[in-house]
Amino acid sequence: VLAKKNDPPRIYLEAGAGTGAMTHRLVKNLRSQDTLHLVEMDQDHCKALKQKFGTLTNVFIHCKAIQDWEPTTPDQKIDAIVTTIPL
């Protein structure tokens, strides 16, 4: 559900980003006005995510469990959630 060129900015959340296999594809299609939040609780995976995506200004890496993550503001709307976590 990635945005088209003239769509308003979107906010995406990847829960359990791991080492970034799916993230790589998301970032490739992310527009500069979009935001991607990566949530990963494994500290080694977080280090890998920071190395790969830490310089991108519209990608935010949160090193915590998804149930402990909260949006930046209470009214922040997430447009799409992506996960490959086996539930």
Q: Distance between CA atoms of 44 and 58, rounded to whole angstroms? A: 22
Instruction: State residue 87's pLDDT score.
Output: 57
Residue 54 carries which side chain, given as an amino acid letter? G
Cβ-in-10-Å burial (0-12, 13-18, 19+) of 26 comes to buried
Instruction: State residue 84's pLDDT score.
Output: 85
The conformation of residue 59, written as its DSSP 8-state character, comes to E
| pLDDT tens figures, 25-84 | 999 999 999 999 999 999 999 999 999 999 999 999 999 999 999 988 788 899 999 998
Say yes or no to pLDDT of 1 above 90. Answer: no
Average pLDDT on 1-17 reads: 88
Residue 23 carries which side chain, given as an amino acid letter? T
Instruction: State residue 3's pLDDT score.
Output: 78
pTM equals 0.90
